[in-house]
């Protein structure tokens, strides 16, 4: 067994084959959690070799450019991962129920590694399976996964949403040598409402800067980033902020029920947290501009 904790959500991987910390990317190490027989887990993941579910009669609800597909059969989801360069057989199939409590991973021969009588299973919390499972789970508990960098400063948290190429990693590097800031991630941030308080969490899925910290902090501001030849911060209204957030929040648009829950959470987010436009040039001056601005709030 191996447990991970991401955004206070515990994933328990149960298998008969080895998966050790040495098999993991370094970004996952801080998210490992020592299994405890007395502690509850949120998402239980078990593994089976072959015996792939037959999805031919199921309803396909999503097609991700020929690399993975999502099917639905009743209240159960089936995420099928295939390789476009090989035959049409699945590499693995991930099955989970409506509540995302129990997950079964059916592994094909290409998904496992056999060496010296040792069989190793893949880390299924890596991209994209882990993000899909967390997205669904968070939707049920007032939360969302956002394409954003995030940091803590003076006990308060701030996120910087942006698409790939918007400058999240560039901005992160400007803060990197300042000891008074602590970055949780440079690419994926989880946001949750716990006891009526919005919190941000680092995740194990970093961007180019490789930052993935298993910590959380209360959310105090949202800064949408735009690279420019000047540094300036402007407050924006909730409606505009929501429009800017939608392209960078993980939402299964193909799944109406879950989509509505995440949209409701995003609406609640901007009812409680101020949003800004941060125009920045790629030098350290932006750090002082940001620090002065948030210190006055």
How much is the average pLDDT of 122-148? 90
What confidence tier does 25 reach under pLDDT thresholds 50, 70, 90?
confident
Query: Which of 85-94, 208-217, 258-267 has the least mean pLDDT?
Result: 85-94
pTM (2 d.p.): 0.92
pLDDT of residue 11: 92
Q: CA-to-CA distance for 188 and 204, rounded, in angstroms?
A: 8
Tell me what the pLDDT averaged over the chain comes to. Answer: 89
pLDDT at 177 over 90: no
- The domains located in the chain, with CATH, are 2-126 (no CATH), 142-295 (3.90.228.20)
Residue 34's pLDDT is 80
118 falls in which pLDDT band (50, 70, 90)?
low
Binned at pLDDT 50, 70 and 90, residue 43 comes out as very high
Q: Tell whether the model's pLDDT for residue 20 goes beyond 60.
A: no
Tokens of 296: 């006055």
CB 188 within 8 A of CB 155: no
pLDDT beyond 60 at 184: yes
Bond from prior residue into 128 cis (ω within 30 degrees of 0): yes
Q: Could you tell me what percent of the chain has a pLDDT over 70?
A: 91
pLDDT tens, 256-293? 999 999 999 999 999 999 999 999 998 889 999 999 99
Half-sphere exposure of 130 (CA within 13 A, CB side): 23
Other CB atoms within a 10 A radius of the CB of residue 234 amount to 9
């Amino acid at each position: 067994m191996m447990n991970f904790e991401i955004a206070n959500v515990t994933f328990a991987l149960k298998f008969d084959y080895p998966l050790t910390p040495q098999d993991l990317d370094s970004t996952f190490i801080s998210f490992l959690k020592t299994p405890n027989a007395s502690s509850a887990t949120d998402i239980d993941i078990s593994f089976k070799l072959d015996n792939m579910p037959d999805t031919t009669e199921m309803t396909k609800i999503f097609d991700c450019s020929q690399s993975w597909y999502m099917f639905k059969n009743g209240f159960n989801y089936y995420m099928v991962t295939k390789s476009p360069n090989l035959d049409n057989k699945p590499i693995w199939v991930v099955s989970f129920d409506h509540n995302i409590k129990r997950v079964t991973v059916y592994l094909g021969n290409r998904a496992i590694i056999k060496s010296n009588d040792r069989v190793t299973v893949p880390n299924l919390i890596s991209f994209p399976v882990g993000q899909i499972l967390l997205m669904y789970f968070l939707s049920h508990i007032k939360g969302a996964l956002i394409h954003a960098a995030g940091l803590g400063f003076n006990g308060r948290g701030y996120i910087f949403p942006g698409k790939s190429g918007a400058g999240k990693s560039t901005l992160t590097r400007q803060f990197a040598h300042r000891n008074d800031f602590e970055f949780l991630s440079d690419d994926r941030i989880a946001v949750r409402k716990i006891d009526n308080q919005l919190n941000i969490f680092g995740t194990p899925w970093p961007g180019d800067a490789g930052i993935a910290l298993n910590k959380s902090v209360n959310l105090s501001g949202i800064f949408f980033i735009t690279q420019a030849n000047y540094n300036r911060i402007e407050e924006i209204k909730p409606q505009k902020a929501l429009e800017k957030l939608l392209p960078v929040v993980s939402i299964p648009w193909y799944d109406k029920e879950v989509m509505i829950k995440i949209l409701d959470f995003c609406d609640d987010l901007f009812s409680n947290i101020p949003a800004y436009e941060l125009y920045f040039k790629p030098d350290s001056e932006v750090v002082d501009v940001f620090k002065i601005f948030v210190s006055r709030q």
